[in-house]
A and B are shown apart, each in its own frame.
Chain A
């Protein structure tokens, strides 16, 4: 299936949806406010399923099926009409519901506040985790030094 690259305004949404999906469920629970009142209409109840992960033959060739991963999805609609979707790794229904809620709220007047209170902390957490891991790996990089060259003999 081919799907066109999203127009620029969707790029922003793609980014926050990915960030919400990668977030640790417990961290998202700390950051995400209680559901607005009246609560959202659930369009698709949080549901656990799988997604088949594909790789490419030789990293660059044709796709093949590598195996599945667990994914939970949810869709809901706010009173304002904004619709939020989530597909998040793992089996946490709360994670999917919160991610869908934030996705919907990001399309409302509360976007700036949520960006500050939810997305930016998540981004900082993630960047910190990645940097720490990459830094430790970098310290195991081999620094070669030459003892004797074959042609020196």
Chain B
């Protein structure tokens, strides 16, 4: 029996007021500004931009403030806001070879032209809590400066390319599929997979990538190159008839070099995995490139070992944290009628069982 009920309006209003008060916390402590979040919690901002799939640091910072630091809630807010905006078009593909790099390292070539540039990294820190940060107003160390390398820094995998030791990506200009406009259809083209992974949940992509390293769909990855920096975004403007730069975005790019012993169709050579993510998001970009490579087993004629990271449907349909949390959290909302039906069913089954036992006993 379906019973429609109303109510809870006042409870909801009061709950939202309480939420707002808790968000603010102790009013004796100065309020956090959106600009402070943007500048000082920048990696959280980057994660929200990457998974929200919208590059706008101020909006991401606002979402983090509103979500009380719950980053998945902040991603949800960004995705919801994005749907209210008209889309003016698509950019030309960004040229990461022309990136103004603030970090660029290779685990495969020590003496890569352009050098190993560490940039603002947590690597080589001792992971000891720094209590000086708890005392505000401490002086800052002044970063040193040196003469920058002139001109763009070449991609490291291009050196392997010259020897034919690594597969080459065939350039193309096909219109890529867009999962924000068309429902995802499987099997998915690599372009669609990359779009799903770059906006996927960092924790999920990280765990999948880790599973490939532990042997579930192993691909023997080295980080051929990791670079972080800004690239120009250029768009064709129809009314002008030519392309102009409309801004620049910070990106993290990871190219892995993977051992490949060859298959029926391909000679032994190195293969590649690719990660490209908004912001300084290096864990995500590395994980993305490992998962990308694992998903390429069919195209490269490798065996399906049944590993989760090789299962396109498993990876792509579970990577989105807004979808996941939406479905997960909906089960806490009223299901009174469903549950009532189940209760009736259990009672009925118990009664039937009891009757059968009684019959048997007689």
Which residues from chain A sit less than 8 Å from chain B, CB to CB?
Answer: 1-6, 10, 14, 17-18, 21-22, 47-71, 73, 75, 85, 87-91, 130-142, 144
Contacts and interface: CB of A to CB of B under 8 A. Distances in A.
B170 A61 contact: yes
B55 A141 contact: no
Given A3-B236, A59-B255, A68-B87, A139 B116 contact: no
Interface centre among A1, A87, A137, A140 (most CB of B within 10 A): A137
B15 interface: no
B198 A138 contact: no
Number of chain B interface residues as a range? 35 or more
| Majority SS at the chain A contact face | mixed
A151 B343 CA distance: 77
A52 B55 CA distance: 10
A65 B116 contact: no
B192 A62 contact: no
Given A57-B194, A67-B198, A91-B56, A134 B100 contact: yes
B144 A68 contact: no
Contacts of A91: 56, 58-59
A144 B144 contact: no
A130 B55 contact: no
Contact of A58 (B195, B244, B246, B272): B272
B85 to A, nearest CB: 5
B244 A21 contact: yes
Contacts of A60: 97, 155, 168-169, 171
B84 to A, nearest CB: 9
B147 interface: yes
Contacts, number: 239
Contact of B54 (A65, A68, A134): A68
Contacts of A142: 115-118
Interface in B156-198: 157, 168-180, 190-192, 194-195, 198
Contacts of B82: 50, 68
A98 to B, nearest CB: 15
B191 A70 contact: no
A55 B275 CA distance: 10
B174 A62 contact: yes
A90 B326 CA distance: 29
A134 B148 contact: yes
Contacts of B199: 67
B236 A69 contact: no
Given A52-B90, A85-B239, A135-B145, A68 B173 contact: no
